């Protein structure tokens, strides 16, 4: 903005100066033009004086002719005696010849010719117009000087006031050339003569043809020249120079004009140099004024411009700017205030208020700076997330959670070396920027962090220990820090998926895994519509009777690419993006329809259905279940809802309510994958459940492993104590069947009986 003001100031000053100097130079120009007129008048004076001189010269010659013509001797017009007299006169004059003529045009010349002069112009003037004398225009005479034009000076011979004859004297034009060549102005000016018709009478340049008109001299002209008795005009000469012509009439002639031609540049050379000098002076002063204005405006506005620049950069988010506080005026004070405010903002912008460690924004800037300043170090981004942080929050509220995070941050911070960073990423996640010589060394450090977090913390008198999911990735200097963070985050997600309390290094494989997940996700969206999803059923057999007592419903996906993908993986993906809700409803509906068909022939057979944690969280799940049972019309007691142990034990108070609601509908409930989670016995006894399903991993292991065998036996005893029936999963061999029978297990399920199949392919 202030740059604009500075610019405007300069423009205003420049315009004002230009106007002042414009007026000034116009005035000077006017004065100089007046001088020009004076200069021209000077040339006019010369021309007039020289023209007068010429006319006097002519007059002199004319006087001679006059004297002869008026001698008494001439009155007789006795040609015989006059001619020798005239010839004798020629020796003492410039005349080249003389002629005496009678009124009838008969004439005799001193060079012995007898001619008729009626066609000559002087004949008409003297005899017809009764003029006393006449000067002819120059012409080439057949009798004289072939290459030199001549003029004739004629006088009337009178007897008692009557013209009885005519005397002609012939002069070459040379005498005029002598006069005009005297008129010279160095190299730039010369004189010449034209007659009343504009034909050249005399010219100093022998190349110029006499008797031709003035266009031999004047190449270009805007006006009709020689119109007045005297005057001036400008023209372009044959050398393409701008010429000034000043002319004046030569009296006693047929309106001959003496012309003085001068090169304008030369004529006004002094004037022009004065004008150039003034112009240069004006331009220099003008430029100096503008430069001065610019410098002045700069010194005045520079501090303001700098301060605005600082404001602007800060506004754009560059908080590293510092305002100049050395200026000794209000601007310095403003700079001080701004810097203080910026410190405040920096604190608010770059520090996480909960943990008092830098925030993510600060991390990005600092990591970027570190990589630039120490390019030889190998850096690693480490993302750490607290497993089950919700649990910590629910233990003691948000204050407790915040305090935990703060201590966690302090703990991480205490392990850092120079040129390393810590920041709060978001939520329960912290992010580190470490350097190490190789990946194994970072892994060791991260492992140590995991171990440190496992040690008990004391927060508000409560002892807790933290389990961390950690992802780390090496930062290549040519890549953006954010890319490395993204990679480390993907590795952390993998760590979470693997169950937490683990550190995962980012490798390209993770990226492909993620890509595949995304592909599966988008394919899954179309799966229901394309009828690619369908249920299969696996029989559950009563060990006492060895008869099928029911079926577990399991999902399958008939997809050209992913049909072999474990359905567990697909379900995890569907759970991550809530597609499981819709898929779950579809499979629930299918299972109840199947149960309806089944009960028509086998009224006591049960159909079990897997329900995931996310499905259970859906507030409409219970309503939907109730509605389907009622609309399709099945006995709810023949429907068993299977919940995994970890689903049931997460947020138990809520789960208790959910389970009671399911129970209220009349459905049976089974705890799936029993033994893999951490069941609290206290809760287990309060849950309204009917079966536990021992996870297949125990069934597989128990044949070769005594402790596992013991464990399976205890689980069955425990279940019986709680009045629950036991289903053993993954039973594949007769030996397993026998052992389970010996433990008192009620039911078995597994490949020993049948693979999960479409209902029409099953025998029961």
Which of ligand C2E, Ca ion, none binds 538 (CB below 5-8 Å, type-dependent)?
ligand C2E
Place of tokens 């969280």: 617
Instruction: Indicate the DSSP class of residue 456.
Output: P
Q: Binding Ca ion by CB under 5 A: which of 152, 154, 610, 647?
A: 610
In angstroms, how far apart are the furthest CA atoms of the chain?
190
Q: Binding Ca ion by CB under 5 A: which of 672, 690, 725, 746?
A: 672
Between CA 294 and CA 316 the distance in angstroms is: 29
Which of Ca ion, ligand C2E, none binds 636 (CB below 5-8 Å, type-dependent)?
none
Residue 751 in contact with ligand C2E, rule: CB under 6 A: yes
Residue 673 in contact with Ca ion, rule: CB under 5 A: yes
End-to-end CA distance of the chain: 88
* Of 177 and 672, CB closest to ligand C2E: 672
Which of Ca ion, ligand C2E, none binds 81 (CB below 5-8 Å, type-dependent)?
none
Between CA 213 and CA 226 the distance in angstroms is: 12
Residue 732 in contact with ligand C2E, rule: CB under 6 A: yes
Minimum distance, C-beta of residue 661 to ligand C2E, in the bound complex (Å): 18
Minimum distance, C-beta of residue 752 to ligand C2E, in the bound complex (Å): 7
Residue 610 in contact with ligand C2E, rule: CB under 6 A: yes
Q: Binding ligand C2E by CB under 6 A: which of 129, 522, 566, 742?
A: 566
Residue 387 in contact with Ca ion, rule: CB under 5 A: no
Burial class (CB in 10 A: 0-12, 13-18, 19+), 252: middle
Which of Ca ion, ligand C2E, none binds 675 (CB below 5-8 Å, type-dependent)?
none
Minimum distance, C-beta of residue 727 to Ca ion, in the bound complex (Å): 9
* Of 436 and 727, CB closest to Ca ion: 727
Which of ligand C2E, Ca ion, none binds 567 (CB below 5-8 Å, type-dependent)?
ligand C2E
Which of Ca ion, ligand C2E, none binds 571 (CB below 5-8 Å, type-dependent)?
ligand C2E
* Of 358 and 750, CB closest to ligand C2E: 750
Which of ligand C2E, Ca ion, none binds 750 (CB below 5-8 Å, type-dependent)?
ligand C2E
| Binding segment toward ligand C2E, per CB under 6 A, in 11-19, 136-144, 431-439, 562-570 | 562-570
Minimum distance, C-beta of residue 615 to ligand C2E, in the bound complex (Å): 6
Binding map of ligand C2E across residues 222-261, x = CB under 6 A, - = no contact: ----------------------------------------
* Of 658 and 729, CB closest to Ca ion: 729
* Of 102 and 697, CB closest to ligand C2E: 697
Positions 507 through 546 that interact with ligand C2E (CB under 6 A): 538
The H or E element that residue 664 is part of is helix 652-665
Minimum distance, C-beta of residue 609 to ligand C2E, in the bound complex (Å): 7
Residue 129 in contact with ligand C2E, rule: CB under 6 A: no
Q: How many CB atoms lie within 10 A of CB 189?
A: 19
| Binding segment toward Ca ion, per CB under 5 A, in 334-342, 526-534, 605-613, 731-739 | 605-613
The SS3 assignment for 167 reads: strand
Between CA 130 and CA 136 the distance in angstroms is: 16
Instruction: Indicate the DSSP class of residue 556.
Output: E
Q: Binding ligand C2E by CB under 6 A: which of 555, 643, 684, 739?
A: 555
- State both tokens at 567: 């359905």
Between CA 600 and CA 603 the distance in angstroms is: 6
* Of 490 and 737, CB closest to ligand C2E: 737
Minimum distance, C-beta of residue 661 to Ca ion, in the bound complex (Å): 20
Residue 611 in contact with ligand C2E, rule: CB under 6 A: yes
Dihedral of CA atoms 488, 490, 492, 495 in degrees, nearest 10, equals -140
Under 8 Å between Cβ of 136 and 173? no
Residue 612 in contact with ligand C2E, rule: CB under 6 A: yes
Between CA 307 and CA 334 the distance in angstroms is: 9
Between CA 191 and CA 259 the distance in angstroms is: 5
According to DSSP, the β-strands at 200-202 and 218-221 are unpaired
Residue 647 in contact with ligand C2E, rule: CB under 6 A: no
Minimum distance, C-beta of residue 535 to ligand C2E, in the bound complex (Å): 7
The SS3 assignment for 99 reads: strand
Minimum distance, C-beta of residue 739 to ligand C2E, in the bound complex (Å): 15
Q: Binding ligand C2E by CB under 6 A: which of 64, 203, 492, 696?
A: 696
Between CA 605 and CA 757 the distance in angstroms is: 17
| Binding segment toward ligand C2E, per CB under 6 A, in 18-26, 217-225, 290-298, 610-618 | 610-618
| Binding segment toward ligand C2E, per CB under 6 A, in 475-483, 605-613, 629-637, 662-670 | 605-613
Q: Compute CA distances 648 → 390, 656, 662, 681, whole Å.
A: 16, 8, 13, 12
Closest by Cα among 676, 620, 621 to 645: 676
Would you say the C-alpha torsion 235, 238, 243, 248 has a positive or negative sign?
A: negative
Q: Name the β-bridge partners of 258.
A: 193, 248
Backbone angles phi, psi at 143, to 5 degrees: -100, -20
* Of 195 and 673, CB closest to ligand C2E: 673
Which of Ca ion, ligand C2E, none binds 566 (CB below 5-8 Å, type-dependent)?
ligand C2E
- State both tokens at 651: 């947020």
Q: Compute CA distances 488 → 372, 389, 431, whole Å.
A: 20, 20, 9
Dihedral of CA atoms 577, 582, 584, 586 in degrees, nearest 10, equals -150
Cβ contacts of 533 within 8 Å, gap of 6 or more: 527, 555, 556, 557, 558, 583, 586, 587
Which of ligand C2E, Ca ion, none binds 568 (CB below 5-8 Å, type-dependent)?
ligand C2E
Closest by Cα among 700, 706, 762 to 732: 700
Positions 700 through 739 that interact with Ca ion (CB under 5 A): 729
| Binding segment toward Ca ion, per CB under 5 A, in 172-180, 352-360, 377-385, 610-618 | 610-618
Number of residues that bind ligand C2E (CB under 6 A): 24
Which of ligand C2E, Ca ion, none binds 746 (CB below 5-8 Å, type-dependent)?
none
Q: How many CB atoms lie within 10 A of CB 725?
A: 18
Instruction: Show the beta-strand stretches assigned E in 91-175.
Output: 97-101, 106-109, 114-116, 133-135, 150-159, 162-172
Indicate the angle between helix axes 330-350 and 360-373, nearest 10 degrees: 100
Under 8 Å between Cβ of 538 and 755? yes
Residue 172 in contact with Ca ion, rule: CB under 5 A: no
Instruction: Indicate the DSSP class of residue 204.
Output: S
Burial class (CB in 10 A: 0-12, 13-18, 19+), 316: exposed
Q: Binding ligand C2E by CB under 6 A: which of 594, 673, 690, 746?
A: 673
* Of 171 and 667, CB closest to ligand C2E: 667
Positions 641 through 660 that interact with Ca ion (CB under 5 A): 642
Backbone angles phi, psi at 254, to 5 degrees: -80, 70
Residue 749 in contact with Ca ion, rule: CB under 5 A: no
Residues near Ca ion (CB under 5 A): 610, 642, 672-673, 729
Binding site for ligand C2E (CB under 6 A): 538, 553-555, 566-568, 571, 584, 587, 610-612, 642, 672-673, 696, 729-732, 750-751, 756
């Amino acid at each position: 903005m202030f740059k604009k003001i500075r610019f405007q100031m300069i423009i205003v000053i420049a315009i004002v100066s230009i106007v002042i100097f414009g007026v000034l130079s116009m005035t000077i120009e006017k004065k100089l033009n007046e001088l020009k007129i004076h200069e021209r008048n000077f040339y006019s004076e010369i021309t007039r004086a020289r023209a007068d001189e010429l006319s006097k010269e002519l007059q002199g010659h004319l006087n001679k002719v006059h004297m002869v013509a008026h001698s008494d001797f001439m009155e007789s017009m006795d040609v015989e005696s006059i001619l020798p007299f005239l010839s004798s006169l020629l020796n003492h004059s410039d005349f080249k010849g003389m002629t005496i003529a009678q009124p009838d045009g008969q004439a005799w010349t001193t060079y012995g010719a007898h001619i008729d002069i009626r066609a000559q112009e002087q004949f008409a003037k003297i005899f017809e117009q009764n003029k006393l004398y006449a000067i002819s225009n120059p012409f080439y005479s057949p009798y004289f000087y072939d290459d030199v034009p001549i003029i004739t000076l004629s006088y009337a011979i009178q007897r008692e006031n009557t013209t009885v004859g005519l005397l002609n004297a012939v002069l070459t034009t040379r005498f005029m050339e002598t006069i005009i060549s005297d008129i010279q102005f160095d190299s730039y000016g010369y004189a010449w003569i034209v007659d009343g018709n504009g034909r050249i009478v005399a010219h100093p340049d022998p190349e110029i043809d006499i008797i031709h008109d003035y266009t031999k001299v004047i190449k270009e002209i805007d006006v009709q020249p020689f119109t007045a008795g005297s005057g001036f005009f400008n023209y372009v000469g044959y050398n393409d120079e701008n010429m000034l012509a000043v002319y004046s009439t030569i009296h006693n002639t047929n309106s001959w004009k003496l012309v003085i031609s001068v090169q304008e540049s030369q004529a006004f050379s002094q004037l022009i140099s004065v004008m150039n000098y003034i112009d240069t002076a004006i331009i220099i002063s003008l430029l100096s004024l503008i430069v001065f204005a610019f410098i002045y405006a700069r010194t005045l506005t520079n501090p303001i411009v700098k301060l605005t620049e600082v404001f602007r950069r800060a506004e754009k988010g560059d908080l590293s700017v510092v305002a100049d506080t050395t200026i000794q005026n209000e601007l310095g004070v403003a700079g001080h205030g701004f810097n203080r405010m910026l410190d405040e903002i920096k604190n608010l912008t770059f520090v996480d208020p909960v943990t008092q460690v830098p925030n993510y924004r600060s991390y990005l800037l600092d990591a970027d700076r570190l990589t630039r300043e120490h390019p030889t170090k190998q850096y690693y981004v480490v993302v750490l997330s607290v497993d089950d942080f919700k649990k910590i929050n629910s233990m003691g509220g948000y204050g407790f959670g915040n305090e935990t995070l703060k201590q966690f941050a302090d703990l991480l911070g205490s392990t850092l070396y120079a040129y390393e960073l810590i920041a709060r990423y978001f939520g329960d996640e912290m992010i580190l920027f470490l350097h190490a010589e190789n990946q194994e060394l970072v892994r060791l450090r991260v492992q140590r962090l995991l171990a440190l977090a496992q040690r008990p913390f004391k927060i508000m008198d409560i002892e807790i220990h933290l389990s961390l999911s950690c992802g780390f990735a090496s930062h290549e200097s040519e890549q953006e820090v954010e890319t490395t963070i993204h990679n480390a985050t993907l590795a952390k997600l993998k760590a979470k998926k693997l169950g937490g309390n683990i550190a995962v290094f980012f490798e390209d494989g993770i990226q492909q895994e993620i890509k595949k997940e995304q592909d599966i996700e988008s394919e899954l969206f179309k799966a229901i519509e394309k009828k690619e999803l369908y249920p299969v059923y696996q029989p559950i057999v009563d060990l006492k009777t060895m008869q099928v007592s029911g079926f577990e419903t399991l999902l399958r996906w008939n997809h050209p690419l992913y049909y072999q993908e474990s359905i567990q993986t697909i379900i995890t993906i569907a759970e991550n993006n809530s597609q499981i809700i819709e898929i779950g409803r579809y499979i629930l509906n299918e299972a109840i329809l199947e149960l309806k068909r089944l009960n028509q022939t086998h009224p006591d057979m049960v159909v079990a259905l897997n329900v995931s944690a996310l499905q259970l969280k859906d507030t409409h799940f219970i309503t939907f279940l109730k509605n389907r049972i009622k609309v399709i019309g099945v006995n709810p007691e023949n429907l068993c809802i299977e919940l995994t142990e970890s689903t049931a034990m997460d947020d138990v108070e809520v789960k208790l309510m959910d389970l009671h609601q399911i129970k209220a509908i009349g459905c049976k409930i089974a705890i799936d994958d029993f033994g893999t989670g951490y069941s609290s016995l206290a809760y287990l006894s309060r849950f309204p459940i009917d079966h536990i399903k021992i996870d297949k991993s125990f069934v597989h292991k128990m044949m070769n492993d005594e402790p596992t065998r013991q464990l399976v036996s205890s689980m069955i005893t425990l279940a019986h104590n709680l009045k629950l029936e036991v289903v053993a999963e993954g039973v594949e061999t007769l030996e397993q069947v026998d052992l389970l029978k010996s433990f008192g297990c009620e039911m078995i399920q597994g490949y020993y009986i049948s693979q999960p199949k479409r209902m029409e392919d099953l025998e029961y």
